[in-house]
Structure 1
Amino acid sequence: MSITTRPIDSSHPRTSKVVRPAWEEPRAPLEAGARAIVLFGMAALIVVPLYIVVLTSFSSQATITAAGGMVVVPGELTFAAYEQILSGGVVTRAVLVSVGITTVGTAISLVVSVMAAYGLSRPGSFAHRPILFFLLITMFFGAGMIPSYLLVSNLGLINSYWSLILPSCISVFNIFLLRGFFMGIDQSILDSARIDGAGDWRILSTMVLPMSKSVITVIGLFYGVGYWNAFFNATLYINDSEKLPLQVILRSYVLQGVSVPGQVSVGSGEVATLAVQMAVVIIALVPVLIIYPFLQKHISSGVMIGAVKG
Structure 2
Amino acid sequence: MRRESSVDKVFVIFNTLFILAITAIVLYPLLYILSASISSPASVNTGEMWLIPKDVTLEGYKRVFQNNSIWNGYKNTIIYTISGVAVHLFILLPCAYALSRKGVPYKKAIMWFFLFTMFFNGGLIPTYLLIKDLGMINTTWAMIIPNALGVWSIIVARAFFQQNIPNELIEAAEIDGANDFYIFAKLVLPISAPIIAVMALFHGVGLWNQYFNGLMYLNESSMYPLQLVLREILILNQMDEQMAMSGIDFESYAETARIADIVKYAVMIVSALPLLIVYPFLQRYFVKGVLVGSIKE
Query: Is the shorter-chain TM-score for this pair beyond 0.5, marking a shared fold?
Result: yes
Contact kept, 8 Å, 1:114 with 1:178, in 2: the verdict is yes
What is the root-mean-square deviation in Å for CA atoms of aligned residues? 2.8
CA distance in 2, matches of 1:209, 1:101: 24
CA distance in 1, matches of 2:71, 2:14: 46
Q: What secondary structure is seen at the aligned counterpart in 1 of 2:135? A: coil
Aligned to 1:143: 122
The one of 216, 241, 253 equivalent to 2:221 is 241
CA distance in 2, matches of 1:165, 1:28: 51
Contact kept, 8 Å, 1:252 with 1:259, in 2: the verdict is no
Q: Classify 1:160/1:195 alpha carbon distance in 2 versus 1 (closer, same or farther; 3 Å).
A: same
* Farther off after superposition, 190-199 or 106-115: 190-199
Aligned to 1:296: 283
CA distance in 1, matches of 2:179, 2:278: 35
CA distance in 1, matches of 2:200, 2:124: 26
State whether structure 2 residue 139 is matched by structure 1 residue 160: yes
State whether structure 2 residue 45 is matched by structure 1 residue 68: yes
State whether structure 2 residue 256 is matched by structure 1 residue 279: no
Equivalence map 1:1-310=2 (5 Å) = 27-59=7-39, 63-68=40-45, 71-72=49-50, 73-125=52-104, 127-184=106-163, 185-254=165-234, 258=238, 272-308=259-295
CA distance in 1, matches of 2:231, 2:193: 35
Q: Which runs of 5+ in 1 are unaligned?
A: 1-16, 261-266
Residue identity in the other structure for 1:275: I
CA distance in 2, matches of 1:54, 1:112: 38
1:256 CA drift (Å) = 8.2
1:112 CA drift (Å) = 0.5
1:210 CA drift (Å) = 2.1
Q: Classify 1:259/1:188 alpha carbon distance in 2 versus 1 (closer, same or farther; 3 Å).
A: farther
1:69 CA drift (Å) = 6.0
> After TM superposition, where is structure 1 displaced by more than 6 Å over at least 4 residues in a row?
none
Q: Classify 1:187/1:29 alpha carbon distance in 2 versus 1 (closer, same or farther; 3 Å).
A: closer
**Structure with bigger gyration radius:** 1
Identity %, equivalent residues? 33
Q: Classify 1:253/1:44 alpha carbon distance in 2 versus 1 (closer, same or farther; 3 Å).
A: farther
Contact kept, 8 Å, 2:37 with 2:265, in 1: the verdict is yes
Residue identity in the other structure for 2:41: I
CA distance in 1, matches of 2:96, 2:89: 10
Q: Classify 1:239/1:171 alpha carbon distance in 2 versus 1 (closer, same or farther; 3 Å).
A: same
1:166 CA drift (Å) = 0.6
Q: What secondary structure is seen at the aligned counterpart in 2 of 1:307? A: coil
Aligned to 1:3: none
TM-score, scaled relative to structure 1: 0.80
Q: Classify 1:28/1:105 alpha carbon distance in 2 versus 1 (closer, same or farther; 3 Å).
A: same
Q: Which runs of 5+ in 2 are unaligned?
A: 241-253
Residue identity in the other structure for 2:211: F
Residue identity in the other structure for 1:159: N
Q: Classify 1:288/1:302 alpha carbon distance in 2 versus 1 (closer, same or farther; 3 Å).
A: same
Residue identity in the other structure for 1:85: V
CA distance in 1, matches of 2:206, 2:239: 25
Deviations, residues 207-256 of structure 1 (Å, cap 9, x unaligned): 21222221221111111111111111111111222221122233344578
Contact kept, 8 Å, 1:253 with 1:259, in 2: the verdict is no
Residue identity in the other structure for 1:38: F
1:302 CA drift (Å) = 4.0
